[in-house]
Each structure stands twice: as structure tokens, then as C-alpha cells.
Structure 1
Amino acid sequence: MGYTDNYERDAYGIVAFWLRSNLEHGQFFDREISHYELELARANQSMVQSLEGIWRRAEEKQGDFAILINESQQAVSEFRNFLTLGMNKALHCEVIVSTPVSLMDHMIREAEESQKVFGLIQSGGQVLVADSVIHESTFWLRQMADHLAFVQHYLDPSYYELQDKVRGMTQKFERLFLQANALRTIVRKPRPEMLPALNVFRQMVINEAKDLEAFKLKLDALIKQCAAITTAPRNMLEHLAREAHHLWRNLEEGIIA
């Protein structure tokens, strides 16, 4: 399945979004594992197969939702624990993987966020708009800055203009992330209303996330035309664009999803 920005945002759709993100992380990680690390590769392939099966059921809205979300929690928890163990081994130089440790941490953070969202769905809890804007901004802006750093990592160094553009965008999202963290303590709980300063920031992030989504899809098209040389995993730019879309949609709707 190619890029989709119109996934249904009901309970099944949101669970499918997070399952797909974790599934694709596993697929990306698969190609980074050295052929010497057979045990690690087999464990990762098992995780990918488990996530894919549950994701397909969520996409097709098959079966009882309570059972589906419990299985999703379990599968993502196991994937998160697997990545954490792998990252710890990488930090001790006990495994051979090409994935930067910061990228493994990035994937772990998304797995943990998945579990939080699943828990919120299960509880039926409601989050105030201002709280959701603070939460989504502080979580996703860091992920967006990471994405750009990873894009730069995979781009051929000879693309000087493109490398410079990606660096500039990375710095922009790092600054937005710092501003989101500042607003988290400036606009303190309880947050019963959207203060003007927070609303202006929300719109700023929405605009930048839309531009980022468009940039990622443009770069994805260049890569698929073999017009930009990169070692990025297949469909990585679609994955990144989908998450940028998810960020600005959540901010527009004032929800955690």
C-alpha cells in the first residue's frame, strides 16, 4: 500500500495508524541488521509478522475491537521491549546494526506513545484541547526533527543544496520543539481554554507540518524516479509524510489520536 493521507480516524483507523507505524519501523530495522546477527533478525521478523497480521485486521475492521486493541497493546509492548534490548546491546557494542542508536530510541518512543494512545482509547478518556496541543507538539515536533536528521543521514553527501535545505528544516523543527517545551511550563495546568499565544503556536506548527509533508512527498517522488540518490529504506519518505499529516490533523482537531 502506498501513501495515504485520508485514513479513517475512527478507533479502528487510529489503531491501524499506530500499528502501521510500528510495523514499518520493524521493516526498516530489518534491513539494518547485519547478516551475522541471525537471532536478532529472526526475532525482528517475528515481530513484523505479528504486527502486520493485527494491522491488516484493524485496516479491514475485522473482529471484536476490544480483543483487537488488547492484541495491539501486547504486540507493540513486545516490539518496544525488543527494541529496548537491542538498543542496550548496541550501546554495549554487542550487536552489529547500521541503525543509529538515536533512531532506535525514536522507534521506542513511538511504540510507547502507541501504548498511551491505545490506553486512552480503552479508557474512553477525554483530553482538553489545550492539553492535546501541548502534548502533540512536544511529542511530534521532536519526531519531526528526528525525521529530517535521518533523511540527511541517508541522502548522498553530493546533494549540497538538498542537504542544506534539510539542515535548515531540521533546525526549524528543533526550535519549534524547544518552543513547545517552553509553552508546556508557561501555559501550566489546568488548561481549560486555548490562550492566544498557544493558538498562534498551534497554527504555526500546522503550517510547518503541512509544508514538511509536501516536501517529504516531493523528495519521495524524486527518489522513486532515481533522480535523488539515497540509501533510505523503501517507502520511508511516505512513512514520514504520513506522520507529518497525522500531526497537523491532530492539532487542527484538538485531539490526541
Structure 2
Amino acid sequence: MSDPIVMRSLDEIQFWSRIMKEHALFLSLGFTYEQNKLIEEAQQFITLFERIEEKLARFTVNSDLRQIQAFNSEVYQAAVAIWSYKRKVLGLTLRCEIQSNNYPLLIDHISREAAYFANRIKDLNEGKLSPEPDTIIQENLFFLRIMADHSKFIGHLLDPSERKLVEQAREFSHDFDQLVFQAVDLDSMRPQSETVPILDQFLDQNRVSVVSLRDFKKTARDLIEACRIKSNIHPLLADHTFREAERFLEIIDLFETHLSRLNQ
């Protein structure tokens, strides 16, 4: 029988290694030509995560737990390294030592995702699999903020003449900002496992909003790929944000399954 830690580790690495590789690509595309050292570093991270993907392909859900833990440690180091690189770029940007086409919020956004990835791998290597109520709220808070950021990036990267789409993006930004504040309030209340109905309602509300945003991102992605709307959004970036919304929905499913077991 497959070890749940092995299965979860492989799933996290498969999803987030691709995300990290794409982050490096997006950063490199946003740098100016004279920032060649930063571009080279970004390309090194692309290579690093490609190698991780190649190693990942050698494992299966029946792989030995100790081998997976060793691989997790290697991936953890890579995630920490790209987090450090992103924070360095953010620092250079905030101090106006470089000017690029990478928004400071975008750099902070992708560094938060690198930290999340590193922490997930660390938790799995420590045998932490089942979420606690506090974890459920915190993870939703993390992803709600990610979705709010995506909405803002989309609105700013669409051509201003795409007025209807820009307005839709702004509405999503406002919606997810409100959900972030709700999650902060709920986190401060610290509901325990016996208050499962509150968490159920919290997840249901989040799901409705994420499904709407996911569908909007899918439409935008398809239109961008078909060159039917005007924007500065790379087709891969459009798909990237769509996949992260899909990931959030998968995590909501996992949490709802966990809560239903507690309720039995």
C-alpha cells in the first residue's frame, strides 16, 4: 500500500516545481537587457527545477519513504534558494537599485509561494499530513491572498482598452480582498475542531468565489492564446494563474474531506 507521505510529497513537488521554474522564466522576461547577471541566475533556477522534474519522474507512489525524504530535502533546499533569490530581487527593486517590468508585489507574491512550497515539503518530512483547524484557515488565507494578487496583476496587464475585462478583474480583486479580511478575522477567533460548521461555511464561500475566478482565468487564457484580447500577459502566465486556481480548489476538496471525517 502506498505511503500517504510519499503520495503527497510527489504531488506537491510535481505541481510546485513547475511553478518555481515558471517564476524564474517570468522574472527573466521582466528584467532589462543590462541586468544580465540576474537573468543568468534566473536561468540557473530554470535548469535546477528542470533537473528536479527529471528526478521526480523516476519515483512512483510505491517508492521507499526514506528515498522520498532524501529527495524532499533536496527539493527543500532548492525552494529556499529560489526564495532567497526572489527576496534579493525584491530588495533591489524596493531600493530602486534596479528598474524592471516586474512589479514589487509580483516579486513578493512569488516569494510567498516559494516559502509555502518549502514549508509544505518540510512538514511532510516531519510526518505532518492531516490539517488542524488553524492550518485550514491559514492555508486558505494564503491562497485567497494569491487569488487577490492574480486579479490585480491581470487588471494591470490587460490593455486599458479592454475595459470590460479590466473591470471584471477589479471586481475579483475586491471580492478576494474581502475574503482575505474574513479569513484574518476567523483566524483570530481560532475555531477548534468542534466548530466544524463554521469551517464548512468558510470553505463553501471560498469555493464559490474561486470557481468564478478560475472560469474567468480560463476564458482569459483561451482568448490570450487565440490573440483575441489585447494585453501584456504571456500565454504561459495566463495558464500559470489558471492552474493555481485549480490547485486551490483541490486543496479545498482535501480540507472538506478531512472535516467530514471529523464530523462523523
Structures share fold, TM-score greater than 0.5: yes
Written as runs of structure 1 = structure 2, the 5 A alignment for 1:186-197 is 186-188=189-191, 191-197=192-198
User: Is 1:123 paired with 2:117?
Assistant: no
Q: In the superposition, relative to structure 1, how do residues 227 and 60 fare at CA in structure 2: closer, same or farther (>3 Å)?
A: farther
Q: 1:214 to 1:45 in 2, by over 3 A?
A: same
| Residue type at the aligned position of 1:69 | N
Q: What TM-score, normalized to structure 1?
A: 0.90
SS at match of 1:10: helix
How far apart in 1 are the matches of 2:28 and 2:235?
12
Q: d(CA) in 2 for partners of 1:60 and 1:157?
A: 46
Tell me, yes or no, if the aligned pair for 1:16 and 1:55 is still in contact at 8 Å: yes
For residues 146 and 115 of structure 1, the distance between their equivalents in structure 2, rounded to whole angstroms, comes to 20
Report the number of matched residues: 246
Deviations 1:106-149 (A, max 9, x none): 01111111111001110111444523320221110001000010
Which residue number corresponds to residue 65 of structure 1? 68
Cα deviation for residue 153 of structure 1 reads: 1.3
**Residue by residue, what CA displacement relative to the aligned partner does 1:215-245 show, whole Å, maximum 9, x if unpaired?**
1111100011110111112311211111111
Aligned to 2:259: none
Aligned 8 A contact 1:141 1:177 in 2: yes
Deviation for aligned residue 1:160: 0.7
Q: Give 1:171's match in structure 2, choosing from 165, 170, 174.
A: 174
1:93 partnered with 2:113: no
What is the root-mean-square deviation in Å for CA atoms of aligned residues?
1.9
Measure the CA separation in 2 of the matches of 1:194 and 1:11.
29
Query: Quick check: which one's helix share is greater?
Result: 2
Mapped contact 2:221–2:235 kept (Cα < 8 A): no
Contact 2:221 2:239 in 1 (8 A): yes
Cα deviation code 1:43-68 (max 9, x no counterpart)? 11111110121023325537832232
Mapped pair 1:213 → 2:211: no
Q: Which runs of 5+ in 2 are unaligned?
A: 1-5, 257-264
**TM-score between both structures, scaled by the size of structure 2:** 0.87
In structure 1, which of residues 172, 178, 182 is the aligned counterpart of residue 185 of structure 2?
182
Which 5+ residue runs of structure 1 have no aligned equivalent? 1-7
CA contact (8 A) 2:155 2:167 kept: no
Moved more, 231-240 or 215-224: 231-240
TM-superposed deviation, 1:92: 1.3
1:237 aligned residue: 238
Q: Distance in 2 between matches of 1:144 and 1:41?
A: 27
CA contact (8 A) 1:216 1:237 kept: yes
Secondary structure at 2:193's aligned position in 1?
Answer: coil
Larger displacement relative to structure 2 (208-217 or 162-171): 208-217
Contact 2:218-2:242 within 8 A present in 1 as well: yes
Alignment of 1:1-257 (within 5 A): 10-59=8-57, 61=59, 64-188=67-191, 191-254=192-255
Which amino acid in structure 1 is aligned with residue 163 of structure 2? Y
CA drift at 1:157: 0.3
Higher relative contact order (CA 8 A, sep 6+): 1
User: Any conservation in 2 of the 1:106–1:146 contact (CA below 8 Å)?
Assistant: yes
1:194 CA displacement: 4.3
User: Aligned equivalents of 2:37 and 2:175: distance in 1?
Assistant: 40
Q: Say which is worse superposed, 148-157 or 92-101, in terms of deviation.
A: 92-101
**SS of aligned partner of 2:149:** helix
**By how many angstroms is 1:22 displaced?**
1.2
Tell me the distance in 2 between the aligned counterparts of 1:157 and 1:59: 43
**Secondary structure of 1:193's aligned partner:** helix
CA distance in 2: counterparts of 1:55 and 1:175, whole angstroms: 37
Could you tell me the percent identity over the aligned residues? 24
- Opposite residue 24 of structure 1, the aligned amino acid is E
